Amino acid sequence: MRQALIVDDHALVREGMVRTLRRLGRTWHIREAADMAAALACITALDSLDLVVLDILLPGRSGFHLLDHLRAHRADIPIVVVSALDDAVTMRRAQRAGALGFVSKCGSGEALLDAARTVLAGNLAFPALTDGGPERSGGHQGEGLTVGQLRVLKLMEAGQTNRQIGDALGITEGTVKQHVSAILRTLGVTRRSEVLAARRRAGPSSNSGERKS
């Protein structure tokens, strides 16, 4: 029996990924973990593990900490990162940390299945990355915010704390606070709780106002 581990804090997301990975075949047993502690306990308890599918936006410590641990102690396990942060910077960071594949949460089950099969065959499964161009904002609209601020904004909207945002993006908590302050000023609000309401009031806007620095 081959073993796969899905690490994601959202039960509905895990259920969908379990259904997808079961298509790898009847010889696969799919396990689940909601956070880094549960994932480490599962990894320690198993004699062998053939695949890890990992969300980097976990409660507490980010998935990048688990990537670092696996690279140091279980470098033989192929890892596919699945994340709502699907910009080039995040993908490159995941690859440098030891992931063999990357799938956007905006993608399909087929994309996850293809990535799993690819890394199990010993190959890399990353979307095409282009160097030299501006980073994508991961689907957010511009509003006079920089790309870095848009990445922080996306995690704010997902309910991440400043520390979790810093872990996910590889920046200090102080830098996150600076970005948050700039975002609040730009959106014309004073508290994080008002950000979602401000975004809804603004409605769809073009990316023409997005700055590249």
Among the candidates 73, 101, 120, a domain finishes at 120
SS3 state at 5: strand
Identify the residue with better confidence: 135 or 101: 101
86 occurs within a structural domain: yes
What is d(CA 145, CA 209) in angstroms, rounded to the nearest whole number? 8
Q: Write out the DSSP string of 65-128.
A: HHHHHHHHH-TTS-EEEEES--SHHHHHHHHHTT-SEEEETTS-HHHHHHHHHHHHTT--B---
71 occurs within a structural domain: yes
42 occurs within a structural domain: yes
Residue % of the chain over a pLDDT of 70: 87
125 occurs within a structural domain: no
CA triplet 175, 167, 45: central angle to 5 degrees?
A: 170
In angstroms, how far is CA 207 from the centroid of its own chain?
23
pLDDT tens track for 7-55: 999 999 999 999 999 999 999 999 999 999 999 999 999 989 999 999 9
Count of domains observed in the chain? 2
199 occurs within a structural domain: yes
My answer on whether 44 and 97 are in the same domain is yes
41, with CB counted inside 10 A (0-12, 13-18, 19+), is: exposed
Q: Give, in order, the Cα–Cα distances in Å from 183 to each of 22, 48, 124, 152.
A: 42, 45, 36, 9
Whichever domain contains 187, its CATH number is 1.10.10.10
My answer on whether 114 and 152 are in the same domain is no
Residue 52's domain comprises 2-120
In angstroms, how far is CA 62 from the centroid of its own chain?
9
Whichever domain contains 85, its CATH number is 3.40.50.2300
Range in 59-68, 108-117, 141-150, 183-192 the model is least confident about: 141-150
My answer on whether 25 and 62 are in the same domain is yes
**Cβ atoms of 37 and 63 closer than 8 Å:** no
Token duo for residue 102: 């990357």
My answer on whether 62 and 19 are in the same domain is yes
133 occurs within a structural domain: no
Give this prediction's pTM: 0.69
38 occurs within a structural domain: yes
Among the candidates 120, 138, 165, a domain finishes at 120
134 occurs within a structural domain: no
My answer on whether 203 and 110 are in the same domain is no
